[in-house]
Amino acid sequence: MNILITGGGGYIGTELTKYLLKRDDVDQVIIYDNLSRTNYNLFIGHTFPNAGKIRFEPGELLDSRHLKKLLKDVDVVYHLAAKVTTPFANTDPHFYEQVNHWGTAELVYAVEESNVSKFIFTSSTGVYGSSKESVDEGVQPNPKTFYGISKLRAEDHVRRLKDRIETYILRCGNVYGYSRSMRFDAVINKFVFEAHFNKRLTIHGDGRQHRSFIHIDHVAEALGSILDAPVPSGTYNLVDRDLEVLDIVDVLKQLIPDLEFIFVNQHLKLRELKVKPSEVLKEKLGIRNTMTFKEEIEEFRSKFSF
């Protein structure tokens, strides 16, 4: 089985690659990435098991000619590449539209002319906009940001494939947890780093806003397991838990008693979003939280150099 991962050099891509290389039925993993985030940690300081199966192919999502050539012998596509930000950020509309929307469109066009049999797309819970009540996949998306809009438009292109091949849209919550290629603009990762080294956090708003989260290990496991799990094509929420920002702070305060935190614009009520985990993914993939949130954060801190 030959697999193409767009955005394979990123946070999720690094852990997914590690997961896929353990499978005997995987012959080749093609990492397709333009390295726009200048994150090279996938490539340095370690050696993957079965590293001979990896092929790096630098390229752009909008380069449809390049994509069509690559897809010639590919069986499965993981589409992770995106202009990524936190769910409520609202800047750079042109880049979101070009990369997330039209880049996905070009990839889908190329897949339609290929022999690819399975397509897995990582969307975002940001497509729901905001909600004080937990939302499931039956709720009509109502994105509030350029990022969310671009991901929802990308979903529309991906759904064109569902009548031809197995097609999965996984709406991921905020991803957190240690990885060589981790992002430090994600709220939990940022908080853990600042708490560990600076002993001080800055909280925007009153801290009561909810977000949906999922650990990076669970994302990689879900993406890898869906290759042969009896999951029907469809759209699924890939989240572990909903947390208030203050819930995160409380755990960090338990682990680091001298932690200080300050509020910025504490009077503001920021938008919040609660998302229900997919019951189908829970049942079919069997992924469960085996650690408490506090235990996850303790393990995360153990990865720091000092």
Q: In this predicted model, what pLDDT tens digit does every residue of 217-231 receive, in sequence order?
A: 999 999 999 999 999
Task: Classify residue 279: in a domain, yes or no.
Answer: no
Note whether 12 and 62 are same-domain residues: yes
Any idea what the CATH number is for the domain that residue 204 is in? 3.90.25.10
Note whether 152 and 297 are same-domain residues: no
Q: How confident is the model at residue 289 (pLDDT cuts 50, 70, 90)?
A: confident
Task: Classify residue 145: in a domain, yes or no.
Answer: yes
Note whether 34 and 78 are same-domain residues: yes
**Proportion of the chain above pLDDT 90, given as a percent:** 82
**Proportion of the chain above pLDDT 70, given as a percent:** 97
Q: Write down the pLDDT at residue 36.
A: 87
Q: Write down the pLDDT at residue 84.
A: 78
Higher pLDDT, 254 or 37: 254
Per-residue pLDDT tens digits for 97-126: 889 999 999 999 999 999 999 999 999 999
Note whether 231 and 221 are same-domain residues: yes
Note whether 232 and 263 are same-domain residues: no
Residue 87 has pLDDT above 80, yes or no: no
Residue 89 has pLDDT above 90, yes or no: no
Q: Write down the pLDDT at residue 203.
A: 92
Higher pLDDT, 267 or 118: 118
- How many domains, the chain? 2
Task: Classify residue 144: in a domain, yes or no.
Answer: yes
Residue 94 has pLDDT above 90, yes or no: no
Per-residue pLDDT tens digits for 65-86: 999 999 999 999 999 999 876 5
CB 205 within 8 A of CB 270: yes
Q: Write down the pLDDT at residue 85.
A: 63
How many Å apart are CA 131 and CA 14, to the nearest integer? Answer: 31
Angle 88-224-137 from CA coordinates, rounded to 5°: 45
Note whether 226 and 104 are same-domain residues: yes
Note whether 113 and 234 are same-domain residues: yes
Name the residue range of residue 191's domain. Answer: 176-211+242-274+290-301
Note whether 150 and 207 are same-domain residues: no
Per-residue pLDDT tens digits for 12-63: 999 999 999 999 999 999 999 999 888 889 999 888 889 999 999 999 999 9
Note whether 130 and 201 are same-domain residues: no
Q: How confident is the model at residue 150 (pLDDT cuts 50, 70, 90)?
A: very high
Q: Burial code of 205-240, b = ≥16 C-beta within 10 A, e = fewer?
A: bbbebbbbbbbbbbbbbbbbbbbeeebeeebbbbbb
Task: Classify residue 306: in a domain, yes or no.
Answer: no
CA–CA distance from 271 to each of 266, 279, 282, 304 (Å)? 13, 25, 27, 32
Per-residue pLDDT tens digits for 162-177: 999 999 999 999 999 9
Q: Write down the pLDDT at residue 275.
A: 97
Residues 291-296: contacts with CB under 8 Å, at least 24 apart: 293/241, 293/243, 293/247, 293/251, 294/251, 294/254, 294/255, 296/177, 296/215
- pTM for the complete prediction? 0.94
Note whether 226 and 103 are same-domain residues: yes
Task: Classify residue 284: in a domain, yes or no.
Answer: no
Question: What are residue 166's DSSP bridge partners?
Answer: 118
Residue 301 has pLDDT above 80, yes or no: yes
Give me the chain's average pLDDT, please. 93
Note whether 200 and 97 are same-domain residues: no
